[in-house]
Each structure stands twice: as C-alpha cells, then as structure tokens.
Amino acid sequence: MPGRQEIENGGRLLQAQVVIVGAGPVGLTLAIDLGRRGIACVLVEQKAQPEFLPKMERCNARTMEIFRRLGIADRIRAAGMPEDIPMDVQIIRSMVEPPVLHLPYPSVAQARALAYESEDGSLPLEPYQLISQYTLEPLLLEVAEQLPTVTVMRSTTFLEFTERDGGVLVTVNDANDVRRTLEASYLVGCDGGASRVRKQLGIRLEGEGDIARLRQGLFYCEQLYERLPIGNGPRRGRHYLVAGGPPTFMIMQDSTRHWTVHSAVASDAEMRRVFERIVGVPLRYEMLYCAEWRQNLLLAERYGKGRVLLAGDAVHLVIPTGGLGMNTGVGDATDLAWKLAATLQGWGGPELLASYETERRQIGERVVGASRYASLGYRAWLAEVRPEIGDDTPAGVDARAHLAEVANVEQRKSNEMIGAELGYRYVDSPIIENVPGGPQHDLRAYRPTTWPGARLPHMWLADRSALHDRLRPDRFALIDVKGGHDASSLCAAFEALGAPLDVLVVPNPILRAVYERDLILVRPDLHVAWRGDRLPQGVADLARRVTGHNNMNRAACSTSSN
C-alpha cells in the first residue's frame, strides 16, 4: 500500500492503515517506527509547528536504545547536549554559595566508555542523552516527513471517530478549515493528558490528580554556564535543587544557555525574582515563557478499545521527578508499533495486539509508583531544611550537614532509576512463556536477566559489535549462544504462520554466562519471549503463542529451565 494518499474531492483520505493523533515525541516515534516497517500512517497534529516550550529534557538509556534501532540515535546526540557535559545534580542555596550536596554522574562520553568496557550485561548499549523536547520534536518531525509511508497533517484538529466495517473513520478539521474524513484500520491517540480520543472512548484516568501546582519559566542566559562555578558556587551540572524558600529547582537545557526553573510561586514576576536569587550575581537574561503546571499521578483504566488505542500521556501522567514520563511513552510506541505492523501484515494473531494493554499498562502502573517514590524522596529532604541553613554560624553549618546526610539518600531516589528504565519485564502476557516467579522488580538497580518478558541485556560480541545490532527490528530472533542446536523445526513453525524469524548462532561462554540458557527467543522489540536449553517438543505451539495466535500448552515448553 502506498504511503501518501491523495485527498479526493469527497474529502476522504482512503486506506491509511493507521491514523495517529498527536505529533509529540510519542506519536512521532510511533509514526517513524510504523513507517519504517512499511505501514502507511497519517499523523494528525493540531499545531502548525512544534512549540518552543520546556517539557521533557532527557532521553533515558532505554529510549536511546529504541532510537538506535530506528537509526536516529546519532542525529539525536548531535542535536542534544555535547557528550562531555557533566550530568551532576546539586542541592544549593544559590549559584554563588558552596553546594549543600553534590551528586556526580557521568557525562555521555564517560557513560559510553564504561559501557564499552562492560562484559556482564549490566550497562545499556546507549547511555542517556540530555535533549530538550523543543529540540527533539522538530528532529523527529523531520524524520517522519521524510518517510514515504508517513503523511503529516499539520494545523489539523481531531474531531471524532467512528468504528465501522472493520476499520475506523476519523473526522478532522484540516489546515484549510475543511472537515475531512480519514479511513484507517486503526486509530492511536497520542494526544496527551487531555486526550480527546480517550475521552470519546469513555476511558477514565485513575489516581491522584492536581497534587501540587508550580510555575515553570524558561530563561535564556548567555553567560551563566560559562561562568560556573561562580566564586565558591557549584560546579557545572544539569539539575540544581534549591534548599530553602518555596520548592524550587533549576534545570539546564541542551544548549547550556537555556534554563528552566520550577517553583511554587504565584506570579510570573516572582519567577523572575526566583531566577535572580538562584543565580546570585547580575547577569543579563530573558524570560521566554512562564506558565503554571500541575503534578499528577494518573493511570488510564484501559489502554484502548477495539480498533482505537492510546499511548503516552493519554494513558499515564506522572510527576517529572525521575524522568519517566516521555520515556515510558516511547516504550509504549515501540511495543505497539511491531504489534500493529504484524497484525496489518497478516502474521500477527488476535492476541498479539490485545497484549499491548496487558504489557504496557502494568509498566504504566509501575512508572506511576516509581514517580511517586522519587517525588516522596524529594519531599523528604525538603522537609529537613532548617530556617538557619543559610546562616554563617555553627547552627547553619550543622543544618547544612544534616540536610546533606538526608538528601544523599533521598535525592538519589530521583536520579538513580536505572531499574525502572531498563529492568522492567512483562508479566502474565499472553504472548510470552509465563513462568511463575522471576526476578524482583527493582526501581533503583538493574540486574541483567533473560527471564521471559525482560529486555534482552546488551552484550558485546567477540568483534566488539553489539548483539542488539545483529537483531533486526522487524522480526523475531532465536539466539543460540552454545552452538550446535537444530532450529529447523522452529523456523518451519514460524514460516507456516508467515512470521519472520532469524537464527543467530553466536557460541560464546561470556554470553552463555549472562544469558543463563543456550537458546533465547527474542521479539522485535528486544524483549525475551522464551528461553531454554533445548527447543520444546511443541515448537508449533511456541510459534503460535509468541505471535499471538493462541495460548500454547505450558507443558509443551516444559523443557525450559527457568
């Protein structure tokens, strides 16, 4: 099916396979992923251009691994913060006073060097990347618009949808103020916390809403980063959390010249005073934007209904503490993309797309919990700020020492979430081998595992290439890390379903030690579907299960040794 379709006189865009509402990072990632798989998409976006607004500011390691598989990780790094910039987090009184607490974290270059030397699967293939959403979004939009399979309709408002005849009719108001109808097999709402798609489905958000209100300001200051440290003030870093006064923190954006400040104050004028108080010395600056935002911890009761699905902020709203919001949405997109593509290409069974909600809603629930955990850590040390903390007295010295001791524990809950980023695994999914038990879910620590449902740990091969890079994103892969296994029966079972499968034989004792089994069956999204030391007798049942055709008989896979 061709990607771009002509809009006929009747106002109907016919036979798009997927319509996506919302061209934020999640909708764009989904469109790019689907488009690269040959799926014809229409991306509906209300704005004419991406806005220069301060939203997310960091792609975590898992998101960068996903972008690597989409072939755009290097472009994102080139557009984002330079790789030698430190990622330190500091608790301060102001930029001219010694920090109360300094938490050092490696730059991208340092993190990459550590990963290159690692042989135990504990580090990601791609480190994090600091990039502001107003930089990332135009880049992703450019990538999407260059794909012949993706049509972007800017300045176009989603109005409503109707399911009919095995498809979805989507009514929009286009850039010329003309009402049109798009016809697709599936509709995906990536249209944010106030999602009109979700509301039409009648799906509620559950949890804690409007927990707190803060103002956010975007400031341009040419000199601040170059002047750091100012006097005895903090070193260069990315986050500066203020001890004393209303809850306030400042974040360096990817240019090192733009800074966002969040503070519990009541007016834009107060935000200017907050910025000046943090900086502590006269510097020329401009406040480019200021608005109120609300903290929420909300999860949708469903991730879709019928042929209409939801992803990103449309189904989970979290407090930015911990940096999990947009990154979880990108995870939604990569899970949904391969399942939609497989379904539309005919080899995905009915349970494949149904597994999207089963798998991703449990991750959304964990992420809401992780965000709450990180936020409580921030509040815990903030509550320990004593009135005399800024005094040049023994009481002031004691107050700062006390706060540093508490914050050295509590603030790490926000900044050290590698377990939530890399260690999530799907449980009770209809398309993996579900074995009782499994590794404990740990927000803070990542322990590499190939337990079914987990992300395949990154490992280097003998030639120092990455195993992840040998696994094609449009197909399953059976990895034989022992060698000598005959996979012909599994290949035949996949072929009978029309499902793509590669066999990768990489005899390697280091891989075998980390992966713990001889054979690992990996999905297109790099999550493990099955593992064992030999193939089960019922390979046809295994193939049918992991491609969503039916629930396999668990006894047929009893040869696996989880």
Under 8 Å between Cβ of 298 and 207: yes
**Residue 221: how many CB atoms within 10 A of its CB?**
19
Per residue in 229-270, pLDDT (tens digit) is 999 999 999 999 999 999 999 999 999 999 999 999 999 999
Which backbone phi and psi does 85 adopt, to 5 degrees? -75, 130
**What letter represents residue 13's amino acid?**
L
CB-based burial label for 334 (10 Å; 0-12, 13-18, 19+)? buried
Under 8 Å between Cβ of 556 and 542: yes
Report the alpha-carbon distance of residue 424 to residue 370 in Å, rounded. Answer: 12
Which CATH number fits the domain 12-81+127-206+300-350, given the four candidates 3.50.50.60, 3.40.50.300, 3.30.365.10, 1.10.3720.10? 3.50.50.60
Strand order in the sheet with 476-480: 501-505, 476-480, 519-522, 528-532
Who's near 182: CB < 8 A, 6+ residues apart? 12, 13, 16, 19, 42, 44, 169, 170, 171, 172
Confidence (pLDDT) at 430: 96
Give ∠ CA 309-311-317 in degrees, rounded to 5: 130
**What letter represents residue 269's amino acid?**
A
Regions in the chain scoring below 70 on pLDDT: 1-14, 551-562
3-state secondary structure of 506: coil
Confidence (pLDDT) at 14: 54
DSSP string computed for 366-411: HHHHHHHHHHHHHHHHHTT--GGGG-SSHHHHHHHHHHHHHHHHHT
Confidence (pLDDT) at 9: 34
Cα radius of gyration rounded to whole Å, the chain: 25
3-state secondary structure of 527: strand
Per residue in 142-158, pLDDT (tens digit) is 999 999 999 999 999 99
Look at the domain 432-557 and name its fold. Glutaredoxin (3.40.30)
On the question of a cis peptide bond just before residue 229, with omega within 30 degrees of 0, the verdict is yes
Name the residue ranges covered by the structural domains of the chain.
12-81+127-206+300-350, 432-557
Nearest to 523 by CA among 458, 474, 487, 470: 474
